[in-house]
Amino acid sequence: MTGVARRVELEGAFNLRDLGGYRTASGGRIRWRRLFRSDSLHRLTEPDVAALAELGVHTVIDLRTGEEVRERGSFDGTTQYHHLPLIDQLRSRDDVNKTYTDPARVSARYLEILDEGRAQMKEVLSLLTDGSTYPAVFHCAAGRDRTGVVAATVLGLLGVTDEDIVADYVLSQEAMERLLEHLRAEHPDAGEELDRVGPGLVSLFGEAMMGLLNAVRDRFGSFEGYADTLGVPDAARALSAALVD
């Protein structure tokens, strides 16, 4: 498909993007309109839900904590919904700003997510290696961190270049700025609190994702090695069969 927009414009989500088009190690390209990454879908309007239906989205993988789902709700469209929280609880706001303004800390945190969320990552890969899952979208709250870790794993398993994996991650920068603007408009009395969390929310560093890619290779040898430790040894081949032309 030529001329396909990577970003999907919605009213209630700010970071919904297509993972199609990236060239893989096999020489093929990831199919468009098969796999999407996003921020939370609980704010979607009726037109948004219709837009997802038009895209044919069949499966939603929600990476948020149980508390986030209880407090904010989840996507209730006519899809297969899977709640697979990659972390048990969110970090404090002060810790978020301390971590997410330091690329080295971000890399370390992302590796922790892969370690802490092994059982859930196995389920995510089990779903994404099943062709009947697609079209699918996976998301967390902002679509940057937990979603970014899953996107890097999938793209890494497909042999997408480091340059493209990092570039895909950094695309969340603009979306984070739009999300912060939305939060300020939606919660006008929370300006002081948003000033505190703003730097951590909108800070994205390509070197943070590059640090994760290097850390995975140092720890596991490759993303295939990581998938092996999860008990999904055929993940790369199965993902390629489901996603790559």
Please indicate, yes or no, if residue 123 is contained in any of the structural domains: yes
Provide the number of structural domains found in the chain.
Answer: 1
DSSP 20: T
How many other β-carbons are positioned within 10 Å of the β-carbon of residue 160?
A: 22
Cα distances (Å, whole numbers) of residue 30 to 145, 158, 166, 172, 193:
22, 9, 16, 19, 40
Task: Collect all residues with Cβ–Cβ distance below 8 Å to 209 and sequence separation of at least 6.
Answer: 107, 110, 148, 152, 165, 166, 169, 170
φ, ψ at 155 (rounded to 5°): -65, -40
Please indicate, yes or no, if residue 38 is contained in any of the structural domains: yes
Please indicate, yes or no, if residue 26 is contained in any of the structural domains: yes
Pairing label, strands 17-18, 35-38 = antiparallel
User: How confident is the model at residue 195, as a pLDDT?
Assistant: 59
Please indicate, yes or no, if residue 3 is contained in any of the structural domains: no
CA–CA–CA angle 64, 22, 171 (5° rounding): 50
The predicted-structure confidence for 54-96, as pLDDT tens digits, reads as follows 999 999 999 999 999 999 999 877 779 999 999 987 765 666 6
Please indicate, yes or no, if residue 69 is contained in any of the structural domains: yes
Please indicate, yes or no, if residue 9 is contained in any of the structural domains: no
Which one, of 79, 109, 81, 77, lies nearest residue 96 by Cα? 109
- In whole angstroms, give the CA distance from residue 149 to residue 147: 5
Please indicate, yes or no, if residue 148 is contained in any of the structural domains: yes
Write out the two tokens for 169: 């991650």
Write out the two tokens for 55: 């895209």
How many other β-carbons are positioned within 10 Å of the β-carbon of residue 149?
A: 25
Domain range for 195 is 17-243
The predicted-structure confidence for 151-162, as pLDDT tens digits, reads as follows 999 999 999 999
Low-confidence ranges of the chain (pLDDT < 70): 1-3, 91-97, 182-183, 185, 187, 189-203
Please indicate, yes or no, if residue 160 is contained in any of the structural domains: yes
DSSP string, 77-142: SSSEEEE--SSSSPPPHHHHHHHHT-HHHHHHHHHHHHHHTHHHHHHHHHHHTSGGG-SEEEE-SS
* CATH number (domain holding residue 194): 3.90.190.10
